[in-house]
Amino acid sequence: MLSLVLAACVTPPYRPGPASSPTPGVPGSSGGGESGAGQPQPAPPVEPSPTPAPAPKSYRLSAATSALVAQARGATAKGDFDAAAATLERALRIEPDNPLVWIEMGRMRLASGDAAQARNMGRRALALAAGAPREQSSAWRLIADALRALGRNVEAQEAAQRAEALAIP
């Protein structure tokens, strides 16, 4: 008995909805071929407008990071790779997820003769640059240069092709 009472509580009572009117010209409706004058006509289906593709992501350096990168480039040009590394590490503490800083660190490592680390920095930049083709292209160029320095020319050519494919015209 209790289950019958509970079942009655769960099932909503039947309430008839508005009567449906026959649709003219639709097979199976009682409207036949009448013109349907005086009857409301269904609205035509609305086609969704295509959504524009999102703009590619782009990275920029903050003013502080930009100043540190400029300082590190100067140190790299003078051959002071320890000072350049320390400066770029400060930049990475400010913007650890900015692929541009990782690319700069990789360029400095490549200039110092550490091609393996340069390739690793390029891969890190590539991972951070998802959705940013310009930065991905720069990361692939760094990887290609590092692989070339390591004597891995076939892989370097493949990386250079990836960089070129991502380059924005």
Q: Which pLDDT does position 131 carry in this prediction?
A: 87
DSSP state string for 20-39: PPPPTT-TTSTTTT---TTS
pLDDT single digits (tens) 14-72 = 455 555 555 555 454 444 444 555 566 776 666 666 666 666 787 899 999 999 999 99
Name the average pLDDT for the chain.
82
pLDDT surpasses 90 at 3: no
* Comparison of pLDDT for 49 and 151, the residue scoring more: 151
Residue ranges of domains in the chain, CATH in brackets? 63-166 (1.25.40.10)
Q: Do residues 93 and 102 touch, judged by C-beta distance below 8 A?
A: no
- Measured CA to CA, the distance from residue 147 to residue 145 in angstroms comes to 5
Query: What is the value of pTM for the model shown?
Result: 0.67
Task: State the average pLDDT over residues 1-16.
Answer: 49
- Measured CA to CA, the distance from residue 91 to residue 139 in angstroms comes to 18
